[in-house]
Amino acid sequence: MTIRTKLTLMTSGLVCAVVLAVAAAVTAAQRSAIEDQSRRRLQGLTDGVARLAQESIVNRDRLMLFSYLMHLQKEHAEFAFAAVSSPEHTSTIGADRPGLIYWTTDVAVRRPIKYTISTISDTHDSLSVSTAGVSLSVAGSAQVTVEEGRRPDALALKLGFDAAVLEAEIAKALDPLTRRTAAIAGAFMFLGWLGALSLSKLLTTPLSALATAVSAVKSGDLDVVVAAGGSDELGLLAKHFNSMTAHLKVLTQFREDLLHTLTHELNTPLGGLKGYLELWNEGKIPAEGPQRDEVLQTMTAAVLRMENSLGNALGLFRTGSRTGVRAPKRSVWLHDLLSEACSLFAPEAAAKKISFVLPPEDQRAYVHADPELLRQIVANLVSNAVKYTPEQGHIRLSLEGGENDVRLRVADDGCGIAAEDLPHLFTKFYRAGPDADRRRVKGTGLGLNIAMKSALALGGTITVASEPGRGSTFTVTLPKFAPQPEAA
Protein backbone atom coordinates (compact mmCIF):
# COMPACT_ATOMS: atom_id res chain seq x y z
CA MET A 1 0.00 0.00 0.00
CA THR A 2 1.42 3.38 -1.01
CA ILE A 3 1.91 6.32 1.35
CA ARG A 4 -0.73 8.27 -0.58
CA THR A 5 -3.29 5.52 -0.02
CA LYS A 6 -2.39 5.21 3.65
CA LEU A 7 -2.56 8.96 4.20
CA THR A 8 -5.86 9.21 2.32
CA LEU A 9 -7.40 6.40 4.36
CA MET A 10 -6.14 7.77 7.66
CA THR A 11 -7.29 11.33 6.96
CA SER A 12 -10.62 10.15 5.55
CA GLY A 13 -11.16 7.93 8.59
CA LEU A 14 -10.42 10.80 10.96
CA VAL A 15 -12.77 13.13 9.10
CA CYS A 16 -15.50 10.47 9.02
CA ALA A 17 -15.09 9.82 12.75
CA VAL A 18 -15.42 13.52 13.55
CA VAL A 19 -18.40 13.96 11.22
CA LEU A 20 -20.16 10.87 12.60
CA ALA A 21 -19.54 12.03 16.16
CA VAL A 22 -21.01 15.45 15.39
CA ALA A 23 -23.94 13.86 13.55
CA ALA A 24 -24.61 11.55 16.51
CA ALA A 25 -24.49 14.49 18.91
CA VAL A 26 -26.85 16.52 16.72
CA THR A 27 -29.24 13.55 16.41
CA ALA A 28 -29.20 13.01 20.16
CA ALA A 29 -29.91 16.71 20.73
CA GLN A 30 -32.77 16.61 18.24
CA ARG A 31 -34.24 13.53 19.90
CA SER A 32 -33.93 15.14 23.32
CA ALA A 33 -35.74 18.25 22.05
CA ILE A 34 -38.55 16.17 20.52
CA GLU A 35 -38.89 14.08 23.70
CA ASP A 36 -39.04 17.27 25.76
CA GLN A 37 -41.69 18.63 23.43
CA SER A 38 -43.66 15.37 23.82
CA ARG A 39 -43.39 15.60 27.61
CA ARG A 40 -44.65 19.17 27.58
CA ARG A 41 -47.61 18.11 25.40
CA LEU A 42 -48.48 15.29 27.80
CA GLN A 43 -48.06 17.68 30.72
CA GLY A 44 -50.48 20.09 29.11
CA LEU A 45 -52.90 17.24 28.48
CA THR A 46 -52.77 16.01 32.08
CA ASP A 47 -53.04 19.58 33.42
CA GLY A 48 -56.24 19.98 31.38
CA VAL A 49 -57.64 16.74 32.84
CA ALA A 50 -56.82 17.93 36.38
CA ARG A 51 -58.54 21.28 35.86
CA LEU A 52 -61.60 19.59 34.40
CA ALA A 53 -61.64 17.18 37.37
CA GLN A 54 -61.73 20.17 39.74
CA GLU A 55 -64.62 21.69 37.81
CA SER A 56 -66.48 18.39 37.89
CA ILE A 57 -66.05 18.29 41.68
CA VAL A 58 -67.24 21.87 42.09
CA ASN A 59 -70.24 21.31 39.81
CA ARG A 60 -70.81 17.78 41.09
CA ASP A 61 -70.85 16.58 37.47
CA ARG A 62 -68.74 13.46 37.02
CA LEU A 63 -70.19 12.91 33.57
CA MET A 64 -68.39 16.01 32.27
CA LEU A 65 -65.03 14.55 33.33
CA PHE A 66 -65.69 11.13 31.79
CA SER A 67 -66.92 12.74 28.55
CA TYR A 68 -63.70 14.68 28.30
CA LEU A 69 -61.61 11.57 28.97
CA MET A 70 -63.45 9.62 26.27
CA HIS A 71 -62.89 12.53 23.87
CA LEU A 72 -59.17 12.47 24.64
CA GLN A 73 -59.05 8.73 24.00
CA LYS A 74 -60.48 9.25 20.52
CA GLU A 75 -58.31 12.27 19.64
CA HIS A 76 -54.99 11.03 21.03
CA ALA A 77 -53.81 7.56 20.08
CA GLU A 78 -51.28 7.48 22.91
CA PHE A 79 -54.02 7.98 25.56
CA ALA A 80 -54.84 4.35 26.38
CA PHE A 81 -56.13 4.20 29.97
CA ALA A 82 -57.78 6.40 32.63
CA ALA A 83 -58.94 5.61 36.17
CA VAL A 84 -61.01 8.02 38.32
CA SER A 85 -61.26 7.00 41.97
CA SER A 86 -63.33 8.57 44.72
CA PRO A 87 -63.64 7.33 48.30
CA GLU A 88 -66.76 5.42 47.30
CA HIS A 89 -66.08 4.22 43.72
CA THR A 90 -63.49 3.75 40.96
CA SER A 91 -64.31 4.14 37.26
CA THR A 92 -61.94 3.24 34.34
CA ILE A 93 -61.75 3.93 30.65
CA GLY A 94 -59.64 1.64 28.48
CA ALA A 95 -57.59 -1.33 29.62
CA ASP A 96 -54.71 -1.30 32.01
CA ARG A 97 -51.88 -3.27 30.39
CA PRO A 98 -48.08 -3.47 30.25
CA GLY A 99 -46.23 -0.92 28.16
CA LEU A 100 -48.03 2.11 29.54
CA ILE A 101 -46.54 5.24 31.03
CA TYR A 102 -48.63 6.38 34.01
CA TRP A 103 -49.43 9.80 35.39
CA THR A 104 -51.23 10.03 38.74
CA THR A 105 -52.54 12.91 40.86
CA ASP A 106 -55.11 13.69 43.56
CA VAL A 107 -57.67 16.43 42.92
CA ALA A 108 -59.52 17.98 45.92
CA VAL A 109 -61.78 21.06 46.29
CA ARG A 110 -62.54 22.54 49.78
CA ARG A 111 -65.82 24.42 50.27
CA PRO A 112 -65.37 28.07 51.40
CA ILE A 113 -66.02 29.11 55.02
CA LYS A 114 -68.93 31.59 55.49
CA TYR A 115 -68.51 34.46 57.98
CA THR A 116 -71.64 36.46 59.14
CA ILE A 117 -70.94 39.75 61.00
CA SER A 118 -73.77 41.64 62.82
CA THR A 119 -73.10 45.14 64.27
CA ILE A 120 -75.09 47.78 66.14
CA SER A 121 -73.56 51.22 65.71
CA ASP A 122 -74.65 54.84 65.21
CA THR A 123 -71.70 55.57 62.98
CA HIS A 124 -70.85 54.21 59.62
CA ASP A 125 -68.71 51.10 59.53
CA SER A 126 -65.97 50.74 56.91
CA LEU A 127 -65.10 47.66 54.82
CA SER A 128 -62.14 47.49 52.45
CA VAL A 129 -61.01 44.62 50.26
CA SER A 130 -57.57 44.42 48.68
CA THR A 131 -54.99 41.89 47.61
CA ALA A 132 -53.70 42.00 51.13
CA GLY A 133 -57.02 40.74 52.48
CA VAL A 134 -60.29 42.02 53.92
CA SER A 135 -60.26 44.84 56.48
CA LEU A 136 -63.41 45.59 58.53
CA SER A 137 -63.66 48.52 60.95
CA VAL A 138 -66.62 48.47 63.38
CA ALA A 139 -67.21 51.39 65.76
CA GLY A 140 -69.54 49.63 68.15
CA SER A 141 -70.05 46.00 69.13
CA ALA A 142 -70.32 43.24 66.54
CA GLN A 143 -71.37 39.59 66.41
CA VAL A 144 -69.55 37.13 64.12
CA THR A 145 -71.11 33.86 63.01
CA VAL A 146 -68.92 31.27 61.22
CA GLU A 147 -70.26 28.47 59.00
CA GLU A 148 -67.51 26.02 58.05
CA GLY A 149 -67.60 24.28 54.68
CA ARG A 150 -68.22 20.64 54.29
CA ARG A 151 -65.43 18.08 53.97
CA PRO A 152 -63.63 18.47 50.69
CA ASP A 153 -64.50 16.35 47.69
CA ALA A 154 -61.44 14.40 46.36
CA LEU A 155 -60.70 12.37 43.24
CA ALA A 156 -57.63 10.22 42.43
CA LEU A 157 -56.68 10.32 38.74
CA LYS A 158 -54.47 7.74 36.99
CA LEU A 159 -53.78 8.23 33.29
CA GLY A 160 -51.92 5.71 31.16
CA PHE A 161 -50.12 6.56 27.87
CA ASP A 162 -48.93 3.96 25.36
CA ALA A 163 -45.08 4.07 25.29
CA ALA A 164 -44.93 2.43 21.85
CA VAL A 165 -47.21 5.06 20.33
CA LEU A 166 -45.21 7.85 21.95
CA GLU A 167 -41.95 6.34 20.64
CA ALA A 168 -43.48 6.00 17.17
CA GLU A 169 -44.54 9.65 17.24
CA ILE A 170 -41.04 10.68 18.36
CA ALA A 171 -39.46 8.55 15.61
CA LYS A 172 -41.83 10.05 13.02
CA ALA A 173 -40.94 13.56 14.07
CA LEU A 174 -37.23 12.67 14.23
CA ASP A 175 -37.09 10.91 10.83
CA PRO A 176 -36.86 14.01 8.54
CA LEU A 177 -34.36 15.61 10.87
CA THR A 178 -32.31 12.41 10.89
CA ARG A 179 -32.41 12.24 7.09
CA ARG A 180 -31.31 15.85 6.81
CA THR A 181 -28.53 15.30 9.32
CA ALA A 182 -27.41 12.16 7.49
CA ALA A 183 -27.40 14.02 4.16
CA ILE A 184 -25.33 16.85 5.62
CA ALA A 185 -22.98 14.36 7.30
CA GLY A 186 -22.62 12.45 4.02
CA ALA A 187 -21.83 15.67 2.18
CA PHE A 188 -19.20 16.61 4.75
CA MET A 189 -17.72 13.11 4.64
CA PHE A 190 -17.49 13.33 0.85
CA LEU A 191 -15.87 16.75 1.09
CA GLY A 192 -13.55 15.36 3.76
CA TRP A 193 -12.60 12.49 1.47
CA LEU A 194 -11.88 14.95 -1.36
CA GLY A 195 -9.86 17.08 1.03
CA ALA A 196 -7.94 14.04 2.27
CA LEU A 197 -7.26 12.96 -1.30
CA SER A 198 -6.07 16.44 -2.24
CA LEU A 199 -3.95 16.73 0.89
CA SER A 200 -2.38 13.31 0.40
CA LYS A 201 -1.69 14.14 -3.25
CA LEU A 202 -0.17 17.48 -2.25
CA LEU A 203 2.06 15.85 0.35
CA THR A 204 3.01 12.68 -1.52
CA THR A 205 3.50 14.08 -5.04
CA PRO A 206 6.97 15.42 -4.13
CA LEU A 207 7.75 12.09 -2.46
CA SER A 208 6.63 10.20 -5.58
CA ALA A 209 8.74 12.51 -7.72
CA LEU A 210 11.71 11.92 -5.44
CA ALA A 211 11.16 8.15 -5.55
CA THR A 212 11.01 8.26 -9.36
CA ALA A 213 14.11 10.42 -9.46
CA VAL A 214 15.99 8.09 -7.11
CA SER A 215 15.05 5.15 -9.33
CA ALA A 216 16.31 7.08 -12.36
CA VAL A 217 19.59 7.88 -10.57
CA LYS A 218 19.89 4.21 -9.64
CA SER A 219 19.61 3.41 -13.36
CA GLY A 220 22.38 5.89 -14.12
CA ASP A 221 20.37 8.91 -15.22
CA LEU A 222 21.94 11.92 -13.47
CA ASP A 223 20.06 14.50 -15.56
CA VAL A 224 16.86 14.03 -13.57
CA VAL A 225 15.60 17.16 -11.76
CA VAL A 226 12.90 17.25 -9.10
CA ALA A 227 10.61 20.27 -8.97
CA ALA A 228 11.33 22.13 -5.72
CA GLY A 229 8.51 24.64 -5.50
CA GLY A 230 7.90 24.74 -1.75
CA SER A 231 9.81 26.16 1.19
CA ASP A 232 8.86 23.33 3.56
CA GLU A 233 10.83 20.21 4.40
CA LEU A 234 9.83 18.49 1.15
CA GLY A 235 10.93 21.50 -0.90
CA LEU A 236 14.22 21.59 0.99
CA LEU A 237 14.66 17.85 0.42
CA ALA A 238 14.04 18.30 -3.32
CA LYS A 239 16.60 21.13 -3.46
CA HIS A 240 19.18 19.01 -1.65
CA PHE A 241 18.44 16.10 -3.99
CA ASN A 242 18.92 18.30 -7.08
CA SER A 243 22.13 19.64 -5.60
CA MET A 244 23.30 16.09 -4.90
CA THR A 245 22.54 14.85 -8.43
CA ALA A 246 24.22 17.93 -9.92
CA HIS A 247 27.31 17.25 -7.83
CA LEU A 248 27.24 13.56 -8.77
CA LYS A 249 26.88 14.50 -12.43
CA VAL A 250 29.84 16.86 -12.24
CA LEU A 251 31.88 14.28 -10.35
CA THR A 252 30.96 11.47 -12.75
CA GLN A 253 31.67 13.65 -15.77
CA PHE A 254 34.95 14.71 -14.23
CA ARG A 255 36.03 11.14 -13.64
CA GLU A 256 34.97 10.09 -17.12
CA ASP A 257 36.94 12.97 -18.59
CA LEU A 258 39.86 12.04 -16.38
CA LEU A 259 39.76 8.41 -17.51
CA HIS A 260 39.48 9.36 -21.18
CA THR A 261 42.23 11.93 -20.89
CA LEU A 262 44.49 9.54 -19.00
CA THR A 263 43.89 6.78 -21.55
CA HIS A 264 44.69 9.13 -24.41
CA GLU A 265 47.71 10.62 -22.67
CA LEU A 266 49.09 7.14 -22.04
CA ASN A 267 48.42 5.93 -25.58
CA THR A 268 50.24 8.87 -27.15
CA PRO A 269 53.71 8.19 -25.65
CA LEU A 270 53.07 4.44 -25.84
CA GLY A 271 52.70 4.80 -29.60
CA GLY A 272 56.08 6.51 -29.78
CA LEU A 273 57.67 3.90 -27.54
CA LYS A 274 56.18 1.14 -29.66
CA GLY A 275 57.65 2.68 -32.80
CA TYR A 276 61.12 2.99 -31.30
CA LEU A 277 60.99 -0.58 -29.95
CA GLU A 278 60.05 -1.87 -33.39
CA LEU A 279 62.95 0.04 -34.91
CA TRP A 280 65.25 -1.30 -32.20
CA ASN A 281 64.00 -4.84 -32.79
CA GLU A 282 64.62 -4.48 -36.52
CA GLY A 283 68.17 -3.26 -35.88
CA LYS A 284 67.57 0.16 -37.40
CA ILE A 285 68.83 1.92 -34.29
CA PRO A 286 72.57 1.57 -33.74
CA ALA A 287 73.78 -0.02 -30.53
CA GLU A 288 76.15 2.87 -29.85
CA GLY A 289 76.42 6.49 -30.81
CA PRO A 290 74.52 9.78 -30.63
CA GLN A 291 71.39 8.41 -32.36
CA ARG A 292 71.05 5.68 -29.73
CA ASP A 293 71.43 8.25 -26.93
CA GLU A 294 68.81 10.49 -28.54
CA VAL A 295 66.38 7.57 -28.87
CA LEU A 296 66.91 6.53 -25.25
CA GLN A 297 66.42 10.10 -24.13
CA THR A 298 63.15 10.32 -26.08
CA MET A 299 61.92 7.00 -24.70
CA THR A 300 62.86 8.05 -21.16
CA ALA A 301 60.92 11.32 -21.61
CA ALA A 302 57.92 9.32 -22.84
CA VAL A 303 58.05 7.06 -19.78
CA LEU A 304 58.39 10.06 -17.47
CA ARG A 305 55.42 11.67 -19.18
CA MET A 306 53.29 8.57 -18.60
CA GLU A 307 54.44 8.45 -14.99
CA ASN A 308 53.52 12.12 -14.58
CA SER A 309 50.08 11.53 -16.13
CA LEU A 310 49.42 8.63 -13.77
CA GLY A 311 50.59 10.71 -10.82
CA ASN A 312 48.27 13.55 -11.76
CA ALA A 313 45.37 11.12 -12.16
CA LEU A 314 45.98 9.61 -8.72
CA GLY A 315 46.14 13.10 -7.25
CA LEU A 316 42.85 14.02 -8.85
CA PHE A 317 41.18 10.88 -7.50
CA ARG A 318 42.54 11.48 -3.99
CA THR A 319 41.53 15.13 -3.76
CA GLY A 320 38.30 14.84 -5.75
CA SER A 321 39.18 18.18 -7.34
CA ARG A 322 39.68 19.11 -10.95
CA THR A 323 42.83 20.98 -10.11
CA GLY A 324 44.59 17.90 -8.75
CA VAL A 325 48.37 18.12 -8.42
CA ARG A 326 49.78 20.48 -11.04
CA ALA A 327 53.40 21.25 -11.74
CA PRO A 328 54.36 24.80 -10.79
CA LYS A 329 54.40 27.35 -13.57
CA ARG A 330 57.77 28.03 -15.13
CA SER A 331 59.23 29.45 -18.32
CA VAL A 332 58.98 26.87 -21.12
CA TRP A 333 60.65 27.23 -24.51
CA LEU A 334 58.10 26.10 -27.08
CA HIS A 335 60.80 25.21 -29.63
CA ASP A 336 62.05 22.50 -27.26
CA LEU A 337 58.52 21.14 -26.85
CA LEU A 338 58.06 20.97 -30.63
CA SER A 339 61.37 19.11 -31.02
CA GLU A 340 60.42 16.69 -28.22
CA ALA A 341 57.04 15.94 -29.86
CA CYS A 342 58.63 15.39 -33.27
CA SER A 343 61.17 13.02 -31.74
CA LEU A 344 58.38 11.08 -29.98
CA PHE A 345 56.41 10.55 -33.18
CA ALA A 346 59.45 10.17 -35.43
CA PRO A 347 59.06 6.36 -35.86
CA GLU A 348 55.42 6.69 -36.96
CA ALA A 349 56.31 9.57 -39.25
CA ALA A 350 59.28 7.67 -40.67
CA ALA A 351 57.04 4.68 -41.44
CA LYS A 352 54.90 6.96 -43.64
CA LYS A 353 57.95 8.91 -44.91
CA ILE A 354 56.55 12.09 -43.41
CA SER A 355 59.01 14.89 -42.77
CA PHE A 356 58.80 17.44 -39.97
CA VAL A 357 59.67 21.06 -40.66
CA LEU A 358 60.59 22.74 -37.38
CA PRO A 359 60.78 26.52 -36.94
CA PRO A 360 64.25 27.99 -37.35
CA GLU A 361 66.36 28.52 -34.28
CA ASP A 362 65.83 32.27 -34.34
CA GLN A 363 62.04 31.76 -33.97
CA ARG A 364 62.30 30.92 -30.32
CA ALA A 365 59.44 31.81 -28.02
CA TYR A 366 58.54 31.02 -24.44
CA VAL A 367 55.54 31.13 -22.12
CA HIS A 368 55.32 31.08 -18.32
CA ALA A 369 52.83 28.26 -17.70
CA ASP A 370 52.29 24.65 -16.67
CA PRO A 371 54.62 22.58 -18.88
CA GLU A 372 52.39 19.50 -18.73
CA LEU A 373 49.45 21.34 -20.27
CA LEU A 374 51.73 22.71 -22.98
CA ARG A 375 52.96 19.18 -23.76
CA GLN A 376 49.32 18.01 -24.05
CA ILE A 377 48.60 20.70 -26.62
CA VAL A 378 51.69 20.13 -28.73
CA ALA A 379 51.65 16.32 -28.54
CA ASN A 380 47.97 16.04 -29.51
CA LEU A 381 48.28 18.45 -32.43
CA VAL A 382 51.42 16.74 -33.78
CA SER A 383 49.92 13.25 -33.25
CA ASN A 384 46.76 14.31 -35.07
CA ALA A 385 48.77 15.74 -37.95
CA VAL A 386 50.83 12.52 -38.32
CA LYS A 387 47.61 10.42 -38.43
CA TYR A 388 45.96 12.43 -41.22
CA THR A 389 49.02 13.32 -43.31
CA PRO A 390 49.48 10.97 -46.29
CA GLU A 391 52.74 9.25 -47.14
CA GLN A 392 55.64 11.48 -48.13
CA GLY A 393 53.76 14.42 -46.70
CA HIS A 394 55.04 17.32 -44.67
CA ILE A 395 54.15 18.71 -41.25
CA ARG A 396 55.23 22.33 -40.69
CA LEU A 397 55.54 23.76 -37.20
CA SER A 398 56.07 27.47 -36.65
CA LEU A 399 56.27 29.96 -33.79
CA GLU A 400 55.43 33.63 -33.69
CA GLY A 401 56.16 35.57 -30.51
CA GLY A 402 54.43 38.83 -29.72
CA GLU A 403 54.72 41.29 -26.88
CA ASN A 404 52.04 39.61 -24.74
CA ASP A 405 51.27 36.32 -26.46
CA VAL A 406 52.71 33.55 -28.58
CA ARG A 407 51.23 31.83 -31.64
CA LEU A 408 52.08 28.22 -32.39
CA ARG A 409 51.00 26.69 -35.70
CA VAL A 410 50.89 23.06 -36.80
CA ALA A 411 50.16 22.70 -40.51
CA ASP A 412 49.87 19.53 -42.59
CA ASP A 413 49.14 18.75 -46.22
CA GLY A 414 46.65 16.01 -45.42
CA CYS A 415 43.07 15.38 -46.57
CA GLY A 416 41.65 18.53 -44.94
CA ILE A 417 38.39 18.99 -43.06
CA ALA A 418 34.95 19.67 -44.48
CA ALA A 419 33.28 22.97 -43.53
CA GLU A 420 30.36 21.22 -41.77
CA ASP A 421 32.80 19.37 -39.49
CA LEU A 422 34.71 22.45 -38.32
CA PRO A 423 32.19 23.63 -35.64
CA HIS A 424 32.26 20.18 -34.01
CA LEU A 425 35.94 19.46 -34.37
CA PHE A 426 36.85 20.02 -30.71
CA THR A 427 33.84 18.12 -29.34
CA LYS A 428 34.67 15.04 -27.29
CA PHE A 429 34.58 11.78 -29.32
CA TYR A 430 33.82 13.65 -32.54
CA ARG A 431 35.74 12.45 -35.59
CA ALA A 432 35.59 14.29 -38.89
CA GLY A 433 35.66 12.82 -42.36
CA PRO A 434 33.82 9.97 -44.07
CA ASP A 435 33.38 6.60 -42.42
CA ALA A 436 36.09 5.02 -44.55
CA ASP A 437 38.66 7.50 -43.26
CA ARG A 438 37.49 6.97 -39.68
CA ARG A 439 38.00 3.24 -39.99
CA ARG A 440 41.38 3.69 -41.66
CA VAL A 441 42.75 6.19 -39.16
CA LYS A 442 42.71 4.90 -35.60
CA GLY A 443 41.64 7.30 -32.87
CA THR A 444 39.16 8.08 -30.12
CA GLY A 445 38.19 11.64 -30.97
CA LEU A 446 39.69 12.94 -27.72
CA GLY A 447 42.99 14.51 -28.81
CA LEU A 448 41.66 17.84 -30.08
CA ASN A 449 39.21 18.06 -27.17
CA ILE A 450 42.07 17.62 -24.68
CA ALA A 451 44.19 20.18 -26.54
CA MET A 452 41.32 22.70 -26.46
CA LYS A 453 40.74 22.20 -22.71
CA SER A 454 44.44 22.60 -22.00
CA ALA A 455 44.61 25.78 -24.07
CA LEU A 456 41.58 27.24 -22.30
CA ALA A 457 43.09 26.33 -18.92
CA LEU A 458 46.16 28.35 -19.90
CA GLY A 459 44.04 31.30 -20.94
CA GLY A 460 44.53 30.70 -24.67
CA THR A 461 42.59 29.52 -27.71
CA ILE A 462 42.88 27.12 -30.64
CA THR A 463 41.58 27.87 -34.12
CA VAL A 464 41.66 25.82 -37.30
CA ALA A 465 41.72 26.67 -40.98
CA SER A 466 41.17 23.85 -43.45
CA GLU A 467 39.92 22.97 -46.90
CA PRO A 468 39.23 19.46 -48.18
CA GLY A 469 42.26 18.18 -50.12
CA ARG A 470 44.50 21.11 -49.10
CA GLY A 471 45.45 20.23 -45.54
CA SER A 472 44.75 21.87 -42.19
CA THR A 473 46.43 24.50 -40.03
CA PHE A 474 45.87 24.65 -36.27
CA THR A 475 46.83 27.88 -34.54
CA VAL A 476 47.31 28.01 -30.77
CA THR A 477 47.39 31.47 -29.17
CA LEU A 478 48.76 31.55 -25.61
CA PRO A 479 49.50 34.41 -23.23
CA LYS A 480 53.13 34.64 -22.24
CA PHE A 481 52.17 34.59 -18.59
CA ALA A 482 49.35 32.09 -18.31
CA PRO A 483 47.06 31.99 -15.24
CA GLN A 484 47.21 29.08 -12.83
CA PRO A 485 45.11 26.39 -14.55
CA GLU A 486 41.96 25.10 -12.82
CA ALA A 487 41.15 22.19 -15.09
CA ALA A 488 42.85 20.17 -17.75
Residue 394 pLDDT greater than 80, yes or no: yes
Q: Enumerate helices (H) and strands (E) in the chain, giving the number of each.
A: 10, 15
From 6-20, 400-414, 436-450, the region with the lowest mean pLDDT: 436-450
Give 136-165 pLDDT, tens digit per residue.
777 767 777 766 555 556 888 899 998 999
Name the E strands within 358-393.
366-369
- The pLDDT, as a whole number, for residue 226 is 80
Give the pLDDT band of residue 215 (cuts 50, 70, 90).
confident
CA distances from 384 to 153, 302, 379, 399, 431 (A): 139, 17, 8, 18, 11
Phi, psi of 155 (to 5 degrees): -130, 140
For the chain, which residues make up each domain, given as ranges?
A: 3-107+157-192, 252-479
DSSP letters, 149-201, are PPPPEEEEEEEEEEHHHHHHHHHHHHHHHHHHHHHHHHHHHHHHHHHHHHHHH
Task: Choose between 166 and 250: higher pLDDT.
Answer: 166
From 299-308, 311-320, 384-393, 413-422, the region with the lowest mean pLDDT: 311-320
- The pLDDT, as a whole number, for residue 305 is 63
Domain at 252-479, CATH from 3.30.565.10, 2.40.50.1020, 3.30.420.40, 2.40.160.210: 3.30.565.10
Give the pLDDT band of residue 207 (cuts 50, 70, 90).
confident
Amino acid at 228: A
